[in-house]
């Protein structure tokens, strides 16, 4: 009886996660409902089975995650009268994504499940691409009924603004492209996936979001370099270093010349964030307090996010929180790249590269936006992070068994 219940809970969590991923661009309520139920079922399953193998097999990852949370928690000592808000931010806004990461790593141990999850991302992204086209050319958006802002205006698709659409596309396009890179038996299937990727790239262009463009370019450069590793093995790492130390920053500088009226606001917010950091560099001003202090440090400019995830993490919870967050995502990227360079090509090989490329693109885009503070986009980020960890671990085990 117990084994049947555990099996039911595992399958329920799996399909609830699929549902939550599908609804990322469509409904915040449905994301919360599906993800909330999945986390409850997962915790119930973990208590019944006492299975902590996901943590035990990823000790370094979860140690970095724990240290990240410890230093965010220490920032509460600086929260002052905003201690309740900071505590809520730590336990709910950040805590739910730590549970999400644990859940995905714990449940998606089978590469077939991860392939299905990537397929859900593909299907959902395809709908986004189509609805951007209908919004652009026919004036209606069928997923959430967003009004068209005009043909010459930035595309927003089913999201509230063009930056959010750009962030979503930056993360999912490499995943969609990964399906198109695999050698399908029918060329029509391959061409269909490549066409979807092309539509989504066009949709990204229509957002007029330079940070999104730079993030997407960074992700696509990664996919290009890794998939051609065996051809460029002798110069692979020099190519990687030159691409991300010189080419990507150069492209960023070029894009900076395409200025718009929002640039001045962002620089004011960057300066305000830096002033907050200088005042409390070690533990920050308190988790979740940036908007409350923003007016004070920007000469009554207004209450806004920092438009830079890394500056906001540093300003709110200190340098150590930022350091361990960067070590966390850096460790995931390192493991994924290491596995990708050592395994034979397969569909899962390309999916791993696509997930990693989407993750890397999101991290680059985060220099210009605060997507980790958006429920939809942070759910996407942590889901892709978890799937990347799960798939790299699975493919690494398979490679070791072959050896």
Q: What is each CA distance from 128 to 142, 159, 178, 203, in whole angstroms?
A: 9, 10, 18, 9
Name the residue with tokens 């070791």: 400
Average pLDDT over residues 362-372: 95
pLDDT above 70 as % of the chain: 97
pLDDT at res. 267: 82
Please check whether residue 236 is in contact with residue 206, taking contact to mean a CB–CB distance below 8 angstroms: no
Average pLDDT over residues 89-116: 96
pLDDT at res. 96: 96
C-alpha 151/C-alpha 139 separation (Å) is 8
pLDDT at res. 152: 85
Please check whether residue 348 is in contact with residue 115, taking contact to mean a CB–CB distance below 8 angstroms: yes
- Is the dihedral angle over the CA atoms 228, 329, 208, 377 positive or is it negative? positive
- Whether the pLDDT of residue 377 is over 60: the answer is yes
Please check whether residue 196 is in contact with residue 227, taking contact to mean a CB–CB distance below 8 angstroms: no
pLDDT at res. 288: 93
Please check whether residue 293 is in contact with residue 300, taking contact to mean a CB–CB distance below 8 angstroms: no
Q: Which tops the pLDDT comparison, 293 or 224?
A: 224
- Spatial neighbors of 81 by CB under 8 A, at least 6 apart, are none
Residue 154, exposed/middle/buried by CB under 10 A (0-12, 13-18, 19+)?
middle
Q: What tens digit of pLDDT does each residue of 22-53 get?
A: 999 999 999 999 999 999 999 999 999 999 99
C-alpha 380/C-alpha 386 separation (Å) is 10
C-alpha 44/C-alpha 10 separation (Å) is 10
DSSP, collapsed to helix, strand or coil, labels residue 329 as helix
C-alpha 273/C-alpha 150 separation (Å) is 34
pLDDT at res. 260: 62
Q: What is the pTM of this model?
A: 0.96
C-alpha 347/C-alpha 358 separation (Å) is 16
Q: What tens digit of pLDDT does each residue of 159-198 get?
A: 999 999 999 999 999 999 999 999 999 999 999 999 999 9
Which residue, among 215, 216, 110, 114, has the nearest Cα to 173 in the 3D structure? 216
Average pLDDT over residues 335-349: 96
Domain boundaries, the chain: 56-402
- Whether the pLDDT of residue 261 is over 70: the answer is no
pLDDT band at 302; cut points 50, 70, 90: low
Which residue, among 57, 41, 58, has the nearest Cα to 7 in the 3D structure? 41
Q: What is each CA distance from 317 to 86, 168, 310, in whole angstroms?
A: 10, 26, 11
pLDDT band at 301; cut points 50, 70, 90: low
- Spatial neighbors of 33 by CB under 8 A, at least 6 apart, are none
Average pLDDT over residues 286-303: 82
Tell me what the pLDDT averaged over the chain comes to. 94
- Whether the pLDDT of residue 249 is over 70: the answer is yes
- Whether the pLDDT of residue 119 is over 60: the answer is yes
- Whether the pLDDT of residue 158 is over 90: the answer is yes
Average pLDDT over residues 249-275: 80
**Number of helices followed by number of strands (H, E) in the chain:** 17, 0
Name the residue with tokens 């097999």: 57
pLDDT at res. 298: 81
Please check whether residue 385 is in contact with residue 98, taking contact to mean a CB–CB distance below 8 angstroms: no
CA torsion, ordered 325, 330, 332, 337, to nearest 10 deg: 170
| Cα 96 off chain centre by | 15
Average pLDDT over residues 6-18: 97
The string of DSSP codes covering 76-132 is: GGG-GGGHHHHHHIIIIIIHHHHHHHHHHHHH--SHHHHHHHHHHHHHHHHHHHHHH
pLDDT band at 269; cut points 50, 70, 90: confident
Q: What is each CA distance from 207 to 156, 203, 213, in whole angstroms?
A: 7, 7, 9
pLDDT band at 384; cut points 50, 70, 90: very high
pLDDT at res. 149: 78
Q: What tens digit of pLDDT does each residue of 50-67 get?
A: 999 999 999 999 999 999
- Spatial neighbors of 265 by CB under 8 A, at least 6 apart, are 301, 304, 307
pLDDT at res. 177: 98
Average pLDDT over residues 351-361: 98
Q: What tens digit of pLDDT does each residue of 305-314 get?
A: 888 999 999 9
């Amino acid at each position: 009886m117990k084994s049947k219940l555990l099996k039911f809970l595992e399958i329920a969590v799996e399909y609830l996660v699929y549902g939550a991923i599908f609804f990322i661009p469509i409904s915040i309520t449905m994301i919360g409902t599906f993800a909330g139920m999945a986390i409850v079922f997962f915790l119930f399953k973990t208590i019944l089975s006492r299975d902590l193998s996901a943590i035990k097999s990823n000790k370094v990852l979860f140690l970095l995650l724990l240290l990240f949370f410890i230093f965010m928690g220490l920032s509460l000592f600086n929260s002052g009268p905003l201690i309740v808000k900071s505590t809520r931010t730590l336990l709910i806004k950040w805590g739910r994504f730590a549970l999400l990461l644990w859940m995905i790593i714990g449940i998606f141990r089978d590469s077939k499940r991860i392939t299905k999850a990537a397929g859900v991302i593909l299907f959902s992204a395809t709908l986004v691409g189509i609805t951007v086209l209908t919004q652009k050319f026919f004036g209606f958006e069928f997923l959430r009924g967003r009004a068209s802002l005009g043909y010459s205006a930035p595309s927003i698709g089913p999201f509230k603004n063009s930056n959010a659409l750009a962030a979503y596309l930056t993360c999912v396009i490499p995943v969609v492209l990964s399906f198109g890179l695999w050698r399908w038996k029918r060329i029509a299937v391959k061409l269909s996936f490549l066409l979807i990727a092309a539509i989504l790239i066009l949709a990204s262009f229509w957002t007029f979001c330079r940070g999104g463009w730079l993030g997407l370019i960074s992700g696509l450069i990664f996919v290009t370099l890794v998939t051609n590793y065996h051809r460029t093995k002798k110069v692979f790492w020099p190519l990687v270093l030159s691409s991300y130390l010189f080419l990507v920053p150069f492209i960023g500088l070029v894009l900076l010349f395409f200025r718009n009226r929002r640039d001045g606001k962002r620089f004011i917010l960057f300066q305000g964030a830096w002033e907050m950091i200088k005042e409390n560099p070690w533990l920050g001003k308190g988790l979740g307090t940036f908007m409350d202090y923003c007016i004070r440090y920007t000469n009554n400019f207004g209450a806004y996010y920092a438009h830079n995830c890394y500056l906001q993490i540093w300003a709110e919870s200190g340098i150590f929180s930022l350091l361990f967050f960067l070590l966390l995502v850096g460790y995931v990227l390192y493991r994924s790249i290491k596995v990708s360079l050592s395994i034979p090509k397969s569909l899962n090989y390309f999916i791993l590269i696509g997930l990693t490329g989407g993750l890397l693109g999101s991290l680059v885009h985060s220099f210009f936006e605060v997507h980790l503070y958006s429920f939809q986009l942070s759910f996407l980020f942590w889901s892709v992070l978890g799937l990347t960890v799960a798939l790299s671990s699975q493919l690494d085990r398979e490679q070791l068994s072959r050896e």
